[in-house]
Amino acid sequence: KEDKYDIGCEMVAFSNSRGGRLVIGINDKSGEINALSYMELQETTNLLTSIASENVIPNVLIDVENVPTTGGAVVVATIPEGKNKPYHDNKGIIWVKNGADKRKVFDNSELADMMGDCGRYYADEEAVRDASIEDLDADTIKLYMMERFSPVFRGKNIDELTMKDYSLDQMAGFVIKGATIERLLRNLRFIRPDGQMTKAAMMLFGKYTQRWLPEITAKCICFFGNSVGGTQFRDKMHDMEIEGNLLHQYRTIMNFFTRNLRKVQVKREFNSLGEMEIPYESLTEYVVNALVHRSLNIKTPIRIFIFDDRVEIHSPGSLPNGLTIEDVKNGTSMPRNVFLFTNANYLLPYTGAGSGVRRALEYDPDAVFSNGVSDKEITHASNEFVITIPRKSSQVTDQ
């Protein structure tokens, strides 16, 4: 009976993650094959089917097959990724895979992310109540339009300098004849059918995003020493500096890095220009990744720490869709905020399609990723994705 419950928990964890396989007939610890008899195969197949329908709620359809081996066969049950997350066992406990093991889920924000995985809920398309077009920044919308519909504006000889001569409605009319900016934003799904502004619109175009979404911000601190518990700061960004839409946040964070990271001489000549000790291109990818892929259900800011020996970028929410760190390094792209992701690339400089992290690692292969795992130096909650980048200490020049 206990085995039946444990198997059900494994099926729940697979269904809530990216699917997986259970093999019956192989010793977990030694890897030795304990082939099953014909009768055992029949009983095991029936048992697994029964567990999938009774111990996994809502129930799941699994594929069970017998694989011949010397002296008999083993049973392989394939559990697909669920389309109706979150799944729970018959005691009401929700499980997800955690590497080779599994863990319980208690956090409502993580449950909301799971619902987003299977298309039942999209945090970036949530309504921002009482917000209107007046709360959006015209220049940022124009920059977005210039990039997204570049052939239209090139054809009219409109660029970033001359766009100031046109109203938003005029520019929308160039894209769709006779359209207002409100109609264009509705067509692009930034305004919902019920007339309310989406969270993605406020994040990308907001004049003062934090009035509506106070958690969509970043904390940037440059410490003396190597401990997050330090009380002395070389530089600590004021909240008002960072507040604004994602384009403003990106520019402000990159300025924070350029004023606090040192230059490294890459050529032997004494007067040669130095390069930033952590490649600018890597930092760009990691910062945009944090801004666009953070969990919108967790009400905490992005945190960026510069220590004497390293930089840490903390992004709310562990990797979505059951992604692993190896998946990310290999370029697997499964964005958490799909609508935001597909529109942010018209404003923010990132590669997209999974290649960004691979590019960043080519520039700086020493970066270390932590996916919700506690570390004695990295003091973060279990529901965070952390990038740690060592700082170069040799051949340093002044800023």
pLDDT at 40: 86
d(CA 130, CA 45): 55
Paired tokens of 207: 């004049």
**Domains assigned to the chain:** 2-106 (3.30.950.30), 132-195 (no CATH), 211-397 (3.30.565.60)
For the question of whether the overall pTM of this predicted structure is more than 0.85, the answer is no
Summarize pLDDT for 219-269 with one digit per residue, the tens. 999 999 888 877 788 999 998 899 999 999 999 999 999 999 987 765 555
Paired tokens of 168: 């938003």
Phi, psi of 69 (to 5 degrees): -140, 175
Q: Which amino acid is at 129?
A: R
DSSP 305: E
Count Cβ atoms within 10 A of the Cβ of residue 217 and give its class: 0-12 exposed, 13-18 middle, 19 or more buried. middle
Which residue ranges of the chain lie beneath pLDDT 70? 1-2, 28-31, 71, 108-109, 112-121, 265-274, 321-322, 333-334, 351-355, 373-382, 393-399
Of 127, 120, 132, the closest CA to residue 192 belongs to 127
CA distances from 70 to 26, 64, 74, 157, 168 (A): 12, 19, 10, 74, 73
d(CA 294, CA 324): 16
d(CA 75, CA 102): 21
d(CA 244, CA 178): 31
d(CA 362, CA 357): 9
d(CA 265, CA 360): 20
Summarize pLDDT for 151-168 with one digit per residue, the tens. 999 999 999 899 999 999
Paired tokens of 118: 């299977």
Contact 217, 242 (CB under 8 A): yes
Our measurement of the distance from residue 248's CA atom to the centroid of its chain's CA atoms, rounded to an integer in Å, reads 19
Task: Give the up-direction half-sphere exposure of residue 54: CA atoms within 13 A in the CB hemisphere.
Answer: 10
Q: What is the tally of helices (H) and strands (E) in the chain?
A: 15, 18
Interstrand relation of 218-223 and 302-306 (parallel, antiparallel or unpaired) = parallel
pLDDT at 214: 94
Cis, peptide link before residue 58, omega less than 30° from 0: yes
